[in-house]
Structure 1
Amino acid sequence: MSQNSIEMIGEQKSRPLHEQIKDKILQNIIVGDWPEGFSVPPEVELAADFGVSYGTIRRAMDDLTQQGVIMRRRRTGTIVTGRTPHHTISRFYRFYRLHTLDGRLINTEARVLKVEHAPPTSEEAEELRLSETDIVIRIKRLRISQGRPVMLDRCVLPLKLAPDFPTDAQVAPPMIYKWLLDQHGLQLSAVRERITARLATAEDCALLELEPSEPHAMLDISETAYDSRNQPLLIMRHTAVTGSHCYVNEIR
């Protein structure tokens, strides 16, 4: 079995093997290792690379074909289509639906800037079902793509759900949903999104490296995440630049 498959399987032992393989292939596509038009290696070769059976690879590739992520052609083989993968709950743990204006899905690196404890605002308390005496963790981070910031995230997490969340930005986990699952067993089950547009503020310009003397259209994506009991877990507010990127939501 290859090193890649060992690492991947260790992360999600409870999931079927073909699902783990599918996620690994998706990661190659999302991070750009397999760009649009890329000719995917033969399935026998993939099976050897991942150290799994041909049948496992075949199931993973069938799923990706049904999702429209790859396309089988009689003469040229299997090609990456460049379409967005299904955006399931599991994708929230790793990827985000930010694309370049020409439609390419990008991968971003999350960089935590600040972590602090504070009382919730009245709106946050209502949305997270907190009392006025509760404390929340505020997390501010940037998403970096190809060395440039493309999105600013502001997260509000009830302290009582994660009292051990690091306050040092240098060691704070960049993948918050996954950390909540791994450390506290808090399973993300639903996400409600609201999307609005506005002009960039001075803080937006400073953090996202935008020219402050010019107007910039920003996209605000506000999401509230819920657990399996429909209890709110956290609020995440994303602010994305629109001059070079867009947000894609593909429904099938």
Structure 2
Amino acid sequence: MNNAPASPSFRPLYEQIKVLITQSLIAGEWRPGEAIPSEMELAARFKVSQGTVRKAVDELAAENILVRRQGKGTYVATHNEEHTKLRFLRLTAADGKKELLENQLLECNRGKATAEMARQLGLKTGASIIEVKRLLSFSGKPVILDHIIIPAAPFKGLNGSKIQDNNGSMYSMYETQYGIRMVRAEERLKAIAADEASAQLLGVAVGTPLLRIERVSCTYGDKPMEWRLGLCVTEEHHYRNELE
């Protein structure tokens, strides 16, 4: 293998190939939605067996970073396809019916990262951030109050007008307009009572139980790029997850 990064001798070869493929994704060699070279081509490039490449690609596919398409090849996963646009949104109707999702922008402001926000996003305290607040409605009924914070530098020019023009998945917008794809998210869930401000926006009584979902989303290389807090009304919805 040429140009392999320094790594402990105990790291399996397929994991080294996985790192190299990820580095190519970070560098933008293959963009979201594009096909990557075949296993045979990658094996020749990295001077390893095709089986080693296959195992590395299998892991990346299991992590939803790559997508295998029968008879077509392997592609870089994207948030811009209908079935993946809302991959991180786990709130679904209790009766299982598909609903129309609508987004209402409440605020989009620039500010400075607090010590806690800086810690969550790997920034320096006081770094420039963009703060977004939205109200998400399902079939016309307010269900989620969204509070989003992202570092300003990678999202140059992002403002309320761009968010309203997009009127859909923030992750799809990050990817198509800024070249930043979120590949992993970590969430923490907690039950809270609605305060006066959230109750008014969500159209519920003060003290109504809400599901508080705090999420940190990362791009390639496990780099955190978004902190999000969702306050969710779950009277007619539930949080759905699939465990393997």
TM, length-normalised to structure 2: 0.62
Partner residue in 1 for 2:194: 200
**1:154 aligns to 2:147 (yes or no):** yes
Q: Distance in 1 between matches of 2:108 and 2:200?
A: 18
| Residue 226 (structure 1) aligned to one of 218, 230, 240 | 218
Per-residue deviation, residues 120-175 of structure 1 (Å, max 9, x unmatched): 12111101011123111000001111211111111001001102102346446542
Alpha-carbon distance change, 175 to 234 in structure 1, aligned in 2, over 3 angstroms: same
SS of equivalent residue, structure 2 residue 238: strand
Residue 211 of structure 1: how far off its partner (Å): 2.6
**1:240 aligns to 2:239 (yes or no):** no
Q: Distance in 2 between matches of 1:92 and 1:191?
A: 14
Q: Distance in 2 between matches of 1:92 and 1:136?
A: 27
Q: Over aligned residues, Cα RMSD in angstroms?
A: 2.7
Alignment coverage as a number of residue pairs: 171
SS of equivalent residue, structure 2 residue 220: coil
Residue 183 of structure 1: how far off its partner (Å): 1.5
Contact kept in structure 2, 1:99 and 1:248, CA below 8 Å: yes
Gaps of 5+ in 2: 1-31, 37-69, 71-76
Per-residue deviation, residues 90-147 of structure 1 (Å, max 9, x unmatched): 4563352212233445442222111001111211110101112311100000111121
Residue identity over aligned pairs, in percent, reads: 24
Q: Distance in 1 between matches of 2:158 and 2:121?
A: 18
TM, length-normalised to structure 1: 0.60
Alpha-carbon distance change, 92 to 206 in structure 1, aligned in 2, over 3 angstroms: farther
**1:180 aligns to 2:174 (yes or no):** yes
Gaps of 5+ in 1: 1-11, 17-58, 60-87
Alpha-carbon distance change, 158 to 13 in structure 1, aligned in 2, over 3 angstroms: closer
Matches for 1:125-144 after TM superposition, within 5 Å: 125-144=118-137
Q: Distance in 1 between matches of 2:125 and 2:181?
A: 26
Alpha-carbon distance change, 210 to 223 in structure 1, aligned in 2, over 3 angstroms: same
